[in-house]
Homo-oligomer: A and B are copies of this chain.
Amino acid sequence: MNNADSPNEPRPTRKVTAAMVAAHAGVSTATVSLVANGKSAGRVSKRNEERVREAIRELGYYVDSIGSSLARGVSSLVILVAPDISNPFFAKLIAGVRGVLGEDYQLLLSVTDAGLSPSATEIRRLLGLRPAGLLVHAPTPLFLSELSSPLPLIALDAPDAPENIPSVNFDVLQGAHDVAAHLAAQGHRRVGYLDATTGTATLRMRREAFLSAAAQLGMQVPAVAVSSSTIEMGDAAATFAAHWEEWKESGITALACATDTHAYGVLQAASTTGVQIPQDLAVTGFDDLPFSTASHPSLTSVRLDAHSVGVQAAQALRQLIDGTPLKESKLQLSSQLIVRASSGGTQ
């Protein structure tokens, strides 16, 4: 019955277009576009500007990003590509990114399968979105090469990123070195290392830096006491259980883990098998996840400032998008050793 437009209710049924706003305000769509995008200064008369704003309000108009993206050749999307967002690390990083991006860009996350870079198909689909920029966590060389088109991109936590790819990294070298120095200072002479099976550059550097620092500090690392597991507590626990006897025989008194998650698994397995931490074995993690204060014993770890990484990466990306050349294409944020009970430090 009542099919007539009711003047007061914006009808949500039909999409409101710039043309409708233009008609309503008695101007052209060009003018609507200018006003809606805040580009009206000095190009639209006060009177028309006011009319358009009014019409936008009344009709509930908003710029359609699809149409806009097509016309401009690029969207206002910033896509964060990350493998394992369940890491609390990412929540902080994202908060940092969002703060910098503000209303200007829209942040969306693309989650890849566990520990993997996106497939070629996924990359195409991402590029099909015409993002204004990409933030990529620990990209593989393959990923970077398949990207081909040169859009603004910042790599995160990617110490191996090629020279021409700007990246924001943690100083894991320092962190790994600090762990080794701490263990040496506690009097350990033979130590083990529990690595992650996923071979990202960060994790490789953590191991290499630890092993070389250990050697420099005069600590032995028996080959049998270097092992690895996936970044899952259960898997790390099983690995510990399977290897503890031979590790013990090898004479190690401390075990450095590639991540806190690994260390949690070790603590758990140690507790069920009656291995005393830190008396029988000192244990350290890396990442300083929130749980590390609650584990038993609390876990010595290396703290990384995820929020700062997010902020710095987003700032750099914005510069790239704006066409400003970056002063430094490689940023490095310091890491900090947090000593807790698991390494026989303070409680």
Contact = CB atoms under 8 A, between A and B. Distances in A.
Interface of A: 12, 15, 62-67, 69-70, 75, 79, 84-92, 94-95, 98, 103, 106-111, 113-114, 121, 124-125, 128-130, 148-149, 232-234, 264-265, 267-268, 271, 290-291, 293-296
A84 B91 contact: yes
14 contacts: A12-B148, A64-B130, A65-B129, A66-B128, A66-B129, A79-B108, A86-B87, A94-B111, A95-B114, A98-B111, A98-B113, A109-B111, A291-B295, A294-B295
Contact of A109 (B106, B108, B267, B290): B108
A128 B291 contact: no
Contacts of A90: 85-86
A252 to B, nearest CB: 22
A289 B69 CA distance: 41
A33 to B, nearest CB: 15
A74 to B, nearest CB: 9
Contacts of A296: 271, 295-296
Contacts of A124: 62
A73 to B, nearest CB: 9
A67 B67 CA distance: 8
B63 A128 contact: yes
A291 B268 CA distance: 9
A95 to B, nearest CB: 7
A66 B68 CA distance: 9
A184 B66 CA distance: 57
A234 B293 CA distance: 9
A233 B128 contact: no
Given A15-B149, A85-B85, A296-B296, 10 more contacts: A62-B128, A65-B125, A66-B75, A85-B86, A85-B90, A98-B111, A103-B121, A233-B290, A268-B294, A295-B295
A44 B148 CA distance: 32
> Which 5 A/B pairs are nearest by Cβ-Cβ distance?
A296-B296, A86-B91, A65-B128, A268-B294, A109-B109
Contacts of A86: 85-92
A109 B79 CA distance: 10
Residue of A89, A129, A130 ringed by the most chain B CB atoms within 10 A: A129
A128 B12 contact: no
A75 B70 CA distance: 13
**Residue of A66, A110, A233, A264 most packed against chain B (CB within 10 A):** A66
Nearest to A13: B149
Nearest to A271: B296
